[in-house]
Amino acid sequence: MTSLSIPSSLIVVDPRVENYLKLIENINPDAEILILDESQNGVEQITNALVNHNEVSNLHIISHGQSGFLQLGDTQLSAATLSHYAESLKQWSVALTSNADILLYGCDVAAGEDGAGFIEALSAITNADVAASTDLTGSTALGGDWTLEYTAGQIESPSIVQAEAMEVYDAVLQTEVLFTETFTNSEVAGEWIYGTGPKAGQTTPFLTARDTRQPSPGGLLGVGGEALDEPGQGTLRLTDAEREENSYVIYNTPFSSNAGLSITFDTFAYSGTGADGIGFFLIDGSTSPQVSGGLGGSFGYAPRNIQGVPGIEGGYLGIAIDEYGNFSSPEITPQGQQKTTGPGRIPNAISVRGSEATNYAYLTGTEPLPAPLDFPDITNREEARRRINVDLTRSGLLTVKVDLNQDNDYNDPGELAIDSFNTIAANSTVPETFKFGFSGTSGSQTNIHEIRNLVIETISAPPEVDNATLRLNQGETKPVTGLNATDSDGTIASYFITTLPAANAGTLFLGDPAQGGTPVAENQEILPSQIDQIFFQSTSNFFGNASFTYNAVDNTGSIDNTPGTVRVTVQAVAGSGGRPPIDPNCLPGENLRGTNRRDRIEGTENSDVIRGLRGNDVLLGLACGDILRGNRGRDRLVGDGGNDLLIGNQDNDILRGGNGIDFLFGNLGNDDLNAGFGDDRLDGGYGDDRLRGVRGNDTIAGNNGDDTIDGGAGNDIIEGDRGRDTIQGGGNNDFVKGRQDDDQISGNRGNDRLFGNLGDDVLNGNRGNDRLNGGVGDDKLFGNQGRDRLVGGGGNDTLYGNRGRDTLIGGAGDDLIVGGPERDILSGGAGADRFFFLGGTQADALKQSIGAAPDVTDFNYSEGDKFLLSYENNLGKLIRPSGLFNAGVVAGRNIIRAARTAYRDKDQQANGRQRLNQDEAVFFQWQDRAYLAVNNNVPGYGFNDLTVGVTGIQLKPGDNASGSLNVADYFATNPIQGIG
């Protein structure tokens, strides 16, 4: 740890972060930097660093992460461990100022409900404002960014990572730690099984820092007296320095192997006369062994045939850190052979045996290593440490490395013990999940055997597979679009279908079946170049919902732990006369007719036709598919079960579809239509109607009148038609058209497509990656969350991207375009457009940085385009830079250096260097792109300056060669008339 003056900033770095030194170059020299010891408790290290401070205003933590999780040293700080570390975290608040910020730079830490809950809880415990990322953090080339999207409280501190570091950093702060346990304290995580060999009096595995003998539920034993080690300094002891010691521990909770496994642990073999050694084994996670395999030279993994002890149930790989050398030997004795195959005894070696299916056959191993694995003459365990790393890829390649000189790497001679051994070819397919265990054995000699600092991680970030949807009619064939996967640290090698759709729903084809496409089989390899050639052909007698799943394989053999789901909606083809499909297994029912009074008519269990005539009638359809006609009067029609046809006709009617595929027609009057469950069709007709799809993939038309429409759950198709309609898409992926007049449309959740069409419409995408098109009229479009595409169309439109990387296109007309806090693409189209950058302060308005710089693609002076700035979140209170310049073409290794060059010489025409002052702006060209940078109130280019890509900009004639420009030509202090 480097301690300078009393810091206002503490920067904590976990050294597992790739190339972390790049991230902390050129930081504020007054900040204190703490590089964690990866073998020690990271939370405690931070607590100890803060103990002598009381004015830390910002704490920055750079580490690997995932949803609701940070890896800090050998410790996981997560929603599950917050209560355990609550007292330590409360001590942080003593060192922090009253308005301190904590910024967490791990991937996905705030993603999902678990991530958000973790951030809110951490904020509450520390009394600090907390910011974290909801997506990948790091290199943009790998899909990351440096925006901390989720905040609990008001964040005032800028990122500690400088713009130069953001530009050159070539990794993402993501890994998946599957399990970690130091064994240094008095408790362990997870569920454990433990035991010894059959001989009485053997040492049962125990935690040397636990004084209580009895374990906690699922835990491990303790000493049963005064602990041998202080908390934080202990180990898991497998054997004492006694003869004929045999013991084992098994972690009895499976974890996924989908992204490969990288397993690291420390071993200690010391203070004896030499012994057998330590075993590590991987077990098929679908099995639940209650005891180990044979001990002694079988290391708790392989059998002891002479004694009749089988190998461990579900064994896949057994790896021995073999001091004496018997794991590689079949151990042939006059009484028989203990194990199958093997070259014989190889001491001081790494040896590997195969799965239960191979009868635990010898697979591979080393010759004697160039440095010892055990230290019989040493009594201080730290001098006896050996660090072991076991990598097993999803494609079955096994690599074992040993740190033989305690320099914390595996680069020295002999340390790469086993290199890329193909376990699938020699052994069997890699199981989908694993459990693991350790064993210790001393044989006829003695050694203490101990384990510490176990970490099990994925080898790489697995691919992420997208979900998709498909909607088609009975008997129709359509290509399946949206099948895609991304990989943050590699490439996609292939795809495969994990589960097929139900046969009665339809068939998947590779290629159009009409052009010779062939049916797809489960697990069939599909190349990335073929993934857009998948077709689904629905059967003619099925309607409703179906699904199938698929997955992707990356270049390391990793797969997504959660396959992508494709939800298929097969729409029923309407019967004759606009009726819903006929209910199977239903008989024709009664033809019931009301009077000219108020009638209550209840149908039978069959398919009835019920007419209400005049009067305010109540018509009940019951189980099967019925036809209910209200005619005159304020009628209430209830279809109940079955595929019903409900027609309100005149007056203000109430229609309830119930279960089934229902068709509801309000016709005349201000009607209330509720489709219920099922893929329904609703038409309001004339009048100001209320239409609700509830659940199912519904088709809804408001028709004439000012209608209120809510699609509810499901992938809905909604049209408002004439009138000033208010439309909510509801959940899932909706397709919504406002049609005529001034409509208000909200997509809500899901990836929606919203069209305003005619009229001055308001479109709000809300959650999801939405596509909004205002159509003709002066529209307002709000993308809100997700990666949205907004098109204003004709008219003077206002487009707000809000959160997410959005594309905003104004179209024809004088448009106002407002990006969000991420890297948006802004296009004005024809007309005098305004590109608006705003915030509550100057810093908020300008703090786009290179990591989130928007692109303005078509700024055109001759069309009247302008930039707008507001430091008060107020379109009515605009400001302009105090000066505007053109630096021309500048050089630089990257955009950061290029911008600094432009700041040092803002005027390409004036002799000598003319530095850009605070609150001034400058255009410049770098490589094949053009940029606009607006300086804040601090001279010099930095993180808090606005940087906008303006490639394709059409300047005022003559300005391309000018150095000093007229600010008013490019920046406005008033918005377009009529927009606000």
Q: Cβ contacts of residue 580 below 8 Å, gap of 6+?
A: 572, 574, 625, 643, 644, 645, 660, 661, 662, 663, 681
Q: Are residues 260 and 287 in the same domain?
A: yes
Number of domains in the chain: 4
Please indicate, yes or no, whether residues 215 and 229 belong to a single structural domain of this protein. Answer: yes
Q: Are residues 450 and 553 in the same domain?
A: no
Work out the number of other CB atoms within 10 angstroms of the CB of residue 819.
29
What pLDDT is stored for residue 4 in this prediction?
32
Asked if residue 694 is part of any domain, the answer here is no
User: Using DSSP, how many helices (H) and how many strands (E) does the chain show?
Assistant: 8, 72
In this structure, the answer to whether residues 330 and 478 fall within a common structural domain is no
- Cβ contacts of residue 693 below 8 Å, gap of 6+? 675, 680, 682, 700, 710, 711, 712, 714, 716, 718, 730
Round to whole Å and give the CA distance between 349 and 388: 12
The DSSP line for 842-907 is HHHHHTTTGGG--EE---BGGGT-EEEEESSS-TTS-B--SEEEEEEEE--SSHHHHHHHHHH---
Residues 264-307: pLDDT tens digits?
999 999 999 999 999 999 999 999 998 999 988 999 999 999 99
Residue type for position 561: N
Within this chain, do residues 361 and 474 fall inside the same structural domain, yes or no? no
What is the number of other CB atoms lying within 10 angstroms of the CB of residue 382?
11
Chosen domain end from 144, 175, 206? 175
Helix (H) or strand (E) holding 495: strand 492-499
Last residue of a domain, one of 518, 548, 571: 571
Chain CA centroid to CA 76, Å = 18
The pLDDT value recorded for residue 297 is 93
What is the sign of the dihedral through the CA atoms of 887, 892, 896 and 900? Answer: negative
What sign has the CA pseudo-torsion 255, 257, 260, 265?
positive
Burial class (CB in 10 A: 0-12, 13-18, 19+), 75: buried
**Domain C-terminal end among 551, 571, 591:** 571
Q: Nearest to residue 790, comparing CAs of 763, 759, 820?
A: 763
For residues 171 and 185, state if they share a domain: no
Residues of the chain with pLDDT > 70: what percent?
92
CA 281-282-284 angle, 5° bins: 145
Q: At residue 300, what is the residue type?
A: G
**pLDDT the model gives residue 852:** 42
Summarize pLDDT for 318-335 with one digit per residue, the tens: 999 999 999 999 999 888
Sign (positive or negative) of CA dihedral 687, 688, 690, 696 = positive
**Distant-in-sequence, close-in-space partners of 644: CB < 8 Å, separation ≥ 6:** 580, 621, 625, 626, 627, 628, 657, 658, 660, 662, 663
Which helix (H) or strand (E) covers residue 437, if one does? strand 433-441
Contacts of 164 (CB under 8 A, 6+ apart): 25, 26, 894, 896, 897
Do the Cβ atoms of 104 and 173 come closer than 8 Å? no
Confirm whether 868 is domain-assigned.
no
Q: Is residue 717 part of a domain?
A: no
Contact (CB, 8 A) for 877 and 870: yes
Q: Is residue 713 part of a domain?
A: no
- CATH number, domain with residue 85: 3.40.50
**131 and 256 co-located in one domain:** no
- Host domain of residue 487: 464-571
745-795 confidence digits (pLDDT tens):
887 777 777 787 777 777 777 777 777 777 787 877 787 777 777 777 788
pLDDT of amino acid 844 = 65
For residue 81, give both structure tokens.
């461990």
- Give the CATH number for residue 268: 2.60.120.200
Residue-wise pLDDT tens digits, 610-627: 898 888 988 888 888 889
Residue 434: per-residue pLDDT: 96
C-alpha R_g of the chain: 35
Residues of the chain with pLDDT under 50: 1-6, 576-577, 848-852, 976-980
Shared domain check, 187 and 163 = no
Instruction: Report the C-alpha gap between 647 and 788 in whole angstroms.
Output: 38
Assigned token pair, 131: 């910011």
pLDDT given at position 171:
62
**Same domain? 187 vs 133:** no
Structure tokens at 460: 């790489």
How far, rounded to the nearest angstrom, does the alpha carbon of residue 626 sit from its chain's CA centroid?
Answer: 46
Spatial separation of the C-alpha atoms in residues 604 and 607, rounded to whole Å: 7
**Looking at residue 578, what is its pLDDT?**
62
Q: Are residues 105 and 131 in the same domain?
A: yes
Scan for tokens 């300047």, then name that residue: 955
Q: Count Cβ atoms below 10 Å from residue 970 Cβ, excluding itself.
A: 23
Q: Look over the chain and give the mean of its residue pLDDT values, rounded to a whole number.
A: 85
Q: Is the dihedral of CA 510, 512, 515, 516 positive or negative?
A: positive
DSSP state of 137: B
Answer yes or no: is 642 within a domain: no
**Are 281 and 360 members of one domain?**
yes
- Asked whether the whole model's pTM tops 0.85, one would answer no
Q: Is residue 790 part of a domain?
A: no
Residue 659 DSSP symbol:
S
**Is residue 841 a part of any domain in this protein?**
no
Does residue 166 sit in the same domain as residue 207? no
Q: Which of 234, 206, 65 is nearest to 134 (CA)?
A: 65
Cα 311–312–316 angle (5° rounding)? 100
Interior/surface letters 839-877, b for 16+ CB within 10 angstroms, e for the rest? beebbbbbbbbbbbbbbbbbbbeeeebbbbbbbbeebee
| 582 to 556, 578, 586, 677, 771: CA distances (angstroms) | 52, 12, 8, 17, 36
Residue 754 lies in a domain: no
How far is Cα 619 from Cα 646, in angstroms, rounded to an integer? 10
User: What is the pLDDT, as a whole number, of residue 3?
Assistant: 35
Q: What's the rounded Cα separation, in Å, for the pair 910 and 905?
A: 9
